[in-house]
């Protein structure tokens, strides 16, 4: 080999060595920069938390790379059971779980909380008047709101699950005035998911192919599950309206609505227990989409503070279709509302106005 070729080969080898070395340095520096995220502190109240906390610890709520600290709050008679749940969480060795606090003290539970999932509440028992239940829950949410107000992180996001969820959220907002009103929501994602499930069963398609159903109003028997803007993914990659594919307006306007409205009662009748699993899953969906964002072209249902959109009285916590981006939700605007839908939306809004009045009478 001629000397000049040898020199050229040596130069090429030196360049290759330098590139490889430079690449290793870059990878090393990237490794140093890849610092683990700070843990997010999540509060869960109430005994349905047994279904919810392992989902949070596995990353179902905040993602597979987000460490969490779990705070669990329950009533004094459940203190021993709460200790047992803490033991199980430790035994499960969840990689994302950094710490667990199990307590019956609201102040300790609310310290530094970034996300609060309020599942605990007083259930309606046989023979109880609606006002009696409301009075019990007003008392509970007034106390917990005060603890959040004083001890939670300033940007704390709150999801109320316990019924009456919309009105409990409203009471919480009243007694935690420093928490932004856009940070206080209630769970209607369970009803939203139930509606998706009913449509997927009816059309024999996978539930992931159905999107943009809406739950309007109250998480109660007057809620309005609306499919007028819902679509199903078509085989050609496009989307087809649910109404067109179902081709049965009578079913969509009657049986479909009542099935979604009464699904919780049907599960209690079948299991003799409440729908803890699906409610926990829906709570994870709600927070995950709120924090991490909704997919483009897709909305979800959330109980949020009404700004007067779609003629709903401002100041109610009302379920709307929303999109989420960068930790903020926005009500989807400009959807056409037909006469049938208007009547249903007005009926559920009227019920929420009555609930609000009842709750405030309990406060007084």
The answer to whether 260 is annotated as binding is no
What is the model's pLDDT at position 236? 83
The answer to whether 288 is annotated as binding is no
What is the model's pLDDT at position 125? 67
Place of tokens 């100041």: 315
Q: Per-residue confidence at 239, pLDDT binned at 50, 70, 90? A: very high
Bridge partners of 73, per DSSP, are 45, 103
Q: Comparing C-alpha atoms, which of 125, 147, 126 is closest to residue 136?
A: 125
The answer to whether 15 is annotated as binding is no
What is the distance between the terminal CA atoms of the chain, rounded to a whole angstrom?
A: 100
What is the model's pLDDT at position 142? 92
What is the model's pLDDT at position 124? 66
Instruction: Indicate which residue of 71, 192, 219, 286 is catalytic.
Output: 219
What's the pLDDT tens digit per position in 7-45? 666 767 777 776 677 777 766 655 545 577 999 999 999
Question: 7 vs 4, 20, 21, 37, 70, CA distance in Å?
Answer: 5, 20, 21, 49, 64
Give the separation between CA 58 and CA 56, rounded to whole angstroms.
5
Question: What is the percent of the chain where pLDDT is above 70?
Answer: 91
Across the chain, mean pLDDT equals 92
Q: pTM above 0.75?
A: yes
Within the chain, strands assigned E span 40-45, 68-73, 97-103, 115-118, 157-160, 184-186, 210-211, 214-216, 224-226, 231-233, 239-241, 300-305, 317-325, 328-331
What's the pLDDT tens digit per position in 171-207? 999 999 999 999 999 999 999 999 999 999 999 999 9
Ordered by where they begin, the domains of the chain are 40-186 (3.40.50.720), 189-362 (3.90.110.10)
Report yes or no: 213 and 196 within 8 Å, Cβ to Cβ.
Answer: yes
The answer to whether 74 is annotated as binding is yes
Q: What would the mean pLDDT of 47-69 be, rounded to a whole number?
A: 93
DSSP SS3 for 184: strand
Q: In the predicted model, is pLDDT for residue 159 greater than 60?
A: yes
Neighbours of 277 (CB within 10 A): 15
- Greater confidence, 265 or 318? 318
Q: Comparing C-alpha atoms, which of 275, 344, 355 is closest to residue 310?
A: 344
The answer to whether 162 is annotated as binding is yes
The answer to whether 105 is annotated as binding is no
Instruction: Assess whether the previous peptide bond of 3 is cis (omega < 30° from 0).
Output: no
Report yes or no: 92 and 54 within 8 Å, Cβ to Cβ.
Answer: yes
Q: Is 219 a catalytic residue?
A: yes
Q: Per-residue confidence at 133, pLDDT binned at 50, 70, 90? A: confident
Q: In the predicted model, is pLDDT for residue 163 greater than 90?
A: no
Question: 297 vs 211, 229, 332, CA distance in Å?
Answer: 9, 12, 11
The answer to whether 189 is annotated as binding is no
Q: What would the mean pLDDT of 230-254 be, rounded to a whole number?
A: 95
Q: In the predicted model, is pLDDT for residue 362 greater than 80?
A: yes
Q: Per-residue confidence at 231, pLDDT binned at 50, 70, 90? A: very high
What's the pLDDT tens digit per position in 247-300? 999 999 999 999 999 999 899 899 988 889 999 999 999 999 999 999 999 999
């Amino acid at each position: 080999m001629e000397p000049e070729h040898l020199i050229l080969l040596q130069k090429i080898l030196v360049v290759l060595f330098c590139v490889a070395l430079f690449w290793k340095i870059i990878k090393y520096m990237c490794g140093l920069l890849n610092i683990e995220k700070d843990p997010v502190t999540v509060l869960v109240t109430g005994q349905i938390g047994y279904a919810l906390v392992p989902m949070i610890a596995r990353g179902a709520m905040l993602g597979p790379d987000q460490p969490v600290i779990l705070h669990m709050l329950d009533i004094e008679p459940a203190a021993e059971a709460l200790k047992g749940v803490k033991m199980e969480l430790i035994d499960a060795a969840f990689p994302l779980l950094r710490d667990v606090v199990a307590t019956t003290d609201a102040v300790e539970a609310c310290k530094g909380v970034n996300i609060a999932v309020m599942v605990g509440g007083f259930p309606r028992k046989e023979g109880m008047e609606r006002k009696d239940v409301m009075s019990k829950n007003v008392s509970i949410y007034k106390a917990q709101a005060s603890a959040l107000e004083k001890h939670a992180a300033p940007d704390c996001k709150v999801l109320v699950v316990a019924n009456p969820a919309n009105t409990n959220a409203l009471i919480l907002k009243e007694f935690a005035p420093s928490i932004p009103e856009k940070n206080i929501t209630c769970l209607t994602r369970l009803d939203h998911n139930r509606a998706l499930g009913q449509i997927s069963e009816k059309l024999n398609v996978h539930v992931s192919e159905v999107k943009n159903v809406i739950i309007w109003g109250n998480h109660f028997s007057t809620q309005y599950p609306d499919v007028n803007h819902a679509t199903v993914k078509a085989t050609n990659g496009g989307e087809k309206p649910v109404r067109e594919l179902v081709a049965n307006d009578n079913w969509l306007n009657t049986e479909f609505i009542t099935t979604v409205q009464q699904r919780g009662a049907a599960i209690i009748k079948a299991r003799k227990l409440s729908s803890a699993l699906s409610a926990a899953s829906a709570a994870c969906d709600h927070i995950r989409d709120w924090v991490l964002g909704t997919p483009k072209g897709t909305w979800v249902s959330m109980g949020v503070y009404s700004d007067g959109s779609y003629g709903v009285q401002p100041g109610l916590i009302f379920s709307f279709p929303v999109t989420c981006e960068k930790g903020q939700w926005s009500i989807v605007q400009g959807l056409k509302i037909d006469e049938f839908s208007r009547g249903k939306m007005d009926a559920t809004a009227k019920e929420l106005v009555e609930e609000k009045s009842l709750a405030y009478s309990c406060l007084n």
